[in-house]
């Protein structure tokens, strides 16, 4: 059959031409067939416009992604999705087998029936935003975005706002009550008036400290505090901190001194270092009833260790890991009475690492020692960092 058809003749002539013979004379039908084949080749995927392999597409996605077959098992998945499977390979398994989540499995089933869905899912300790999109050929695209960090940050912010509002409420309530009492008549009684105005002044002062501390903390936590690191005379800053609290210490009958050797030059941000030492010395004075407070400086290798030592009540061992958390107080009533905001040590905890230093505490029945360790100032140690 082939031997006698015009097509067979055209093929023979083409073979002869390609082998070096004369140019083949093709019939009209054969030329038309050739044109049609060429047109089809141009349109067919995989030839002129190669189809992007699904694997490559999924690999390019920033989320864990998989294509779920009509039968309900994962046909293709990217590396992030594979890590969700205990075996490290998701292909061939159902979403239920991979995640053990009945909720996700049900959502996939609904998506296979054609309903797009979004849901948030907890898998182990991580949170995922799940997006399910039915595709034209009856499969489902399954995307899982890890939102654990974002959710944690939101929870921290919520906590912060709740705690801060709680702290602000006490002085605001005291000021309001004092003002109302004054307005109700106490203002006409000079002795009573003085007492209530003093209450207003004291709580206004506390409000001012609280808002300042909260602003500092929020700047530090959101990394908006710029550290300007330069060689700093630690002895001088220690003396300034001690001077600032000498009056408060004397009023309580406490001794207070700075014993930092001359030439203790550290690489630090002077403003931040002063705030750290003031916070530590202030606490030491606040919580110590008898004895005194000393700021010491000791060289340790390529660092200086500055310690604030007190003869106070000490801190129970089980509180130690938590006292640097914001709003954590051992005795909330007494700390507030002392004018504490509960964020002093949290600020210290942020400021010290910002200067490449370390901070710690040792405490026992004889008192507490809060220490910070800062690098010795080098030759070219001027740095600005956010």
Q: What is the contact surface with ligand ADP in residues (CB under 6 A)?
A: 283-284, 287, 310, 312-313, 315, 323, 328-331, 335, 340-346, 368
Name which of 297 and 312 has its Cβ closer to ligand ADP. 312
Q: Quote the CA–CA distance of 156 and 152 in Å, as a whole number.
A: 6
Q: Are 368 and 234 in contact (CB under 8 A)?
A: no
**Least separation in angstroms between CB 298 and ligand ADP:** 19
**Least separation in angstroms between CB 154 and ligand ADP:** 24
Name which of 263 and 332 has its Cβ closer to ligand ADP. 332
**Least separation in angstroms between CB 90 and ligand ADP:** 47
**Least separation in angstroms between CB 203 and ligand ADP:** 15
Name which of 63 and 259 has its Cβ closer to ligand ADP. 259
The DSSP code for 187 is G
Q: Which two tokens stand for residue 261?
A: 């050797």
Residue with token string 């130690």:
320
Q: Is 49 exposed, middle or buried (0-12, 13-18, 19+ CB in 10 A)?
A: exposed
Q: Are 384 and 226 in contact (CB under 8 A)?
A: yes
Name which of 267 and 329 has its Cβ closer to ligand ADP. 329
Name which of 44 and 322 has its Cβ closer to ligand ADP. 322
**Least separation in angstroms between CB 367 and ligand ADP:** 7
Strand pairing category for 292-300 and 255-259: parallel
Backbone phi and psi for residue 155, each to the nearest 5 degrees, phi listed first: -65, -40
Q: Quote the CA–CA distance of 306 and 264 in Å, as a whole number.
A: 10
Q: Is 38 exposed, middle or buried (0-12, 13-18, 19+ CB in 10 A)?
A: exposed
Q: Which two tokens stand for residue 105?
A: 């499995």
**Least separation in angstroms between CB 201 and ligand ADP:** 20
Q: Quote the CA–CA distance of 73 and 65 in Å, as a whole number.
A: 13
HSE, side-chain direction, 13 A CA sphere, residue 256:
27
Name which of 69 and 211 has its Cβ closer to ligand ADP. 211
Q: DSSP 3-state assignment of 253?
A: coil
DSSP 84-107: TSTTS--TTS-HHHHH--HHHHHH
**Least separation in angstroms between CB 165 and ligand ADP:** 17
Name which of 13 and 315 has its Cβ closer to ligand ADP. 315
Name which of 267 and 286 has its Cβ closer to ligand ADP. 286
**Least separation in angstroms between CB 232 and ligand ADP:** 23
With a CB cutoff of 8 Å and minimum separation 6, the contacts of 284 are 293, 308, 309, 310, 312, 368, 370
**Least separation in angstroms between CB 335 and ligand ADP:** 4
Q: Which two tokens stand for residue 141?
A: 């695209």
Q: Quote the CA–CA distance of 313 and 363 in Å, as a whole number.
A: 9
Name which of 134 and 312 has its Cβ closer to ligand ADP. 312
**Least separation in angstroms between CB 260 and ligand ADP:** 19
Name which of 57 and 330 has its Cβ closer to ligand ADP. 330
With a CB cutoff of 8 Å and minimum separation 6, the contacts of 194 are none
């Amino acid at each position: 059959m082939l031997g006698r058809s015009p097509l067979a003749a055209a093929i023979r002539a083409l073979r002869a031409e390609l082998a070096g013979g004369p140019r083949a004379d093709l019939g009209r039908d054969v030329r038309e067939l050739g044109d049609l084949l060429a047109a089809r080749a141009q349109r067919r995927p995989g030839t002129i416009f190669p189809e992007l392999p699904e694997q490559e597409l999924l690999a390019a996605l920033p989320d864990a992604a998989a294509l779920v077959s009509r039968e309900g098992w994962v046909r293709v998945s990217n590396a992030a999705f594979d890590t969700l499977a205990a075996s490290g390979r998701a292909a061939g398994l159902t979403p239920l087998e991979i995640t053990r989540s009945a909720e996700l499995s049900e959502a996939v089933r609904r998506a296979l029936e054609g309903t797009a869905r979004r849901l948030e899912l907890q898998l182990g300790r991580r949170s995922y935003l799940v997006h399910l999109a039915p595709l034209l050929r009856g499969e489902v695209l399954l995307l899982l975005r890890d939102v654990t960090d974002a959710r944690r940050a939101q929870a921290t912010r919520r906590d912060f706002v709740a705690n801060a509002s709680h702290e602000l409420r006490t002085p605001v309530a005291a000021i309001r009550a004092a003002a109302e009492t004054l307005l109700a008549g106490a203002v006409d009684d000079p002795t009573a008036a003085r007492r209530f105005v003093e209450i207003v002044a004291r709580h206004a002062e506390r409000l001012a400290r609280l808002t300042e501390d909260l602003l500092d903390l929020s700047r530090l936590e959101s990394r908006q505090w710029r550290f300007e690191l330069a060689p700093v005379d630690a002895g001088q800053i220690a003396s300034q901190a001690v001077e600032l609290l000498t009056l408060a210490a004397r009023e309580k009958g406490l001794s207070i001194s700075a014993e930092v050797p001359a030439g203790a030059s550290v690489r630090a941000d002077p403003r931040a270092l002063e705030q750290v030492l003031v916070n530590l010395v202030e606490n030491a004075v606040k919580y110590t009833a008898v004895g005194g407070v000393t700021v010491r400086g000791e060289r340790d290798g390529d660092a200086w260790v500055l310690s604030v030592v007190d003869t106070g009540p000490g801190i129970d061992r089980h509180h130690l890991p938590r006292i640097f958390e914001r709003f954590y107080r051992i005795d909330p009533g007494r700390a507030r009475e002392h004018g504490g905001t509960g964020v002093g040590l949290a600020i210290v905890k942020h400021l010290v690492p910002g200067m490449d230093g370390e901070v710690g505490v040792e405490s026992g029945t004889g008192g507490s020692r809060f220490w910070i360790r800062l690098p010795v100032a080098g030759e070219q140690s001027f740095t600005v960092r956010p």
